[in-house]
């Protein structure tokens, strides 16, 4: 099997010690690899592409929790709305509104994370801190009514660098935004998830307060 069992056990142990959740990122990997990791006990899997996820999901056990971690186009929400467990990369209000609509059609409430742009790289995806605060304010005050989505937290991708100081600065900024954004006593939003950390930086992310890491290549090997 082409799953690295030793890495899996080691990463899982570190994740559990930190009280966090490990999402195994299986994009571009075959169903047989996912099944192999499933047989070792893994239940949370992350995928980046709608069509790929929609094809894999029916071939695999029903108790897998599928996380959508890529950029999601509004017109594709309908293909995953019936089964997706957590949509992590919500990067616009328009997308959130569409998820609410598709969730309602399926008689579900879909959990979402807002993607925050913290990295140095230029990207068109993700909110900045001020936009997160504004959007949560509109939901919390009932200006924006989305009964079929639950915003459970934040997701971020740090800079693509080995500079530990830079990464630490970004993770720490995310943690601060996470804690500031959701004050349970003043808001009925339950912010429970801070998703950050990948194969190259998950240990540092856990140290900085991540509650969910997304690890692919250390578990399944390099992609393509
Ligand atoms: C691919 C991907 C990951 C996993 O990356 P690895 O470096 O293989 O662990 C995590 N998060 C997102 C959003 C990704 O696209």
Domain limits, the chain: 5-212
Residue 184: the pLDDT is: 55
Instruction: Give the position, in ligand 1's atom list, of the atom nearest the Cα of 218.
Output: 9
Residue whose entry in the numeric block shows the structure tokens 């009514």: 145
pLDDT tens digits, residue range 171-188? 999 999 998 987 654 454
For residue 186, the model assigns a pLDDT of: 46
The model's pLDDT over 145-179, given as tens digits with 9 standing for 90+, comes to 999 999 999 999 999 999 999 999 999 999 999 98
For residue 207, how many other CB atoms are within 10 A of its CB?
13
Which atom of ligand 1 approaches the CA of 48 most closely? 15
Does 128 score more than 90 pLDDT? yes
Strand partners, 87: 68, 112
Global pTM?
0.95
186-200 in b/e form (b: 16+ CB < 10 A) is eeebebebbbbbbbb
Average pLDDT of the residues of the chain: 93
Domain covering 5-212 assigned CATH 3.20.20.140 in the classification: no
Atom 6, ligand 1: residue with shortest CA distance: 216
């Amino acid at each position: 099997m082409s799953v690295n069992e030793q890495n899996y056990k080691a990463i899982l142990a570190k994740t559990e010690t930190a009280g966090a959740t490990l999402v195994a990122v299986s994009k571009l990997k075959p169903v047989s690899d996912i099944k192999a990791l499933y047989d070792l006990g893994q239940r949370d899997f992350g995928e980046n592409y709608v069509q790929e996820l929609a094809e894999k999901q029916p071939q695999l056990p029903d108790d897998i929790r599928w996380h959508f971690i890529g950029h999601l186009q509004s017109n594709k929400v309908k293909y995953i709305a019936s089964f997706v467990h957590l949509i992590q990369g919500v990067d616009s209000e328009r997308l959130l509104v569409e998820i609410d609509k598709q969730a309602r059609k399926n008689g579900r409430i879909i959990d979402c994370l807002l993607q925050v742009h913290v990295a140095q790289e230029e990207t068109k995806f993700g909110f900045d801190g001020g936009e997160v605060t504004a959007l949560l304010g509109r939901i919390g005050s009932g200006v924006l009514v989305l009964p079929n989505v639950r915003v459970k937290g934040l997701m971020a991708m740090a800079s693509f660098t080995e500079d530990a100081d830079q990464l630490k600065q970004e993770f720490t900024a995310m943690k601060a935004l996470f804690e500031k954004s959701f004050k349970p006593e003043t808001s009925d939003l339950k912010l429970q998830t801070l998703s950050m950390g990948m194969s190259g930086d998950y240990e540092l992310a856990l140290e900085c307060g991540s509650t969910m890491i997304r690890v692919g290549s250390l578990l399944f090997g390099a992609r393509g």
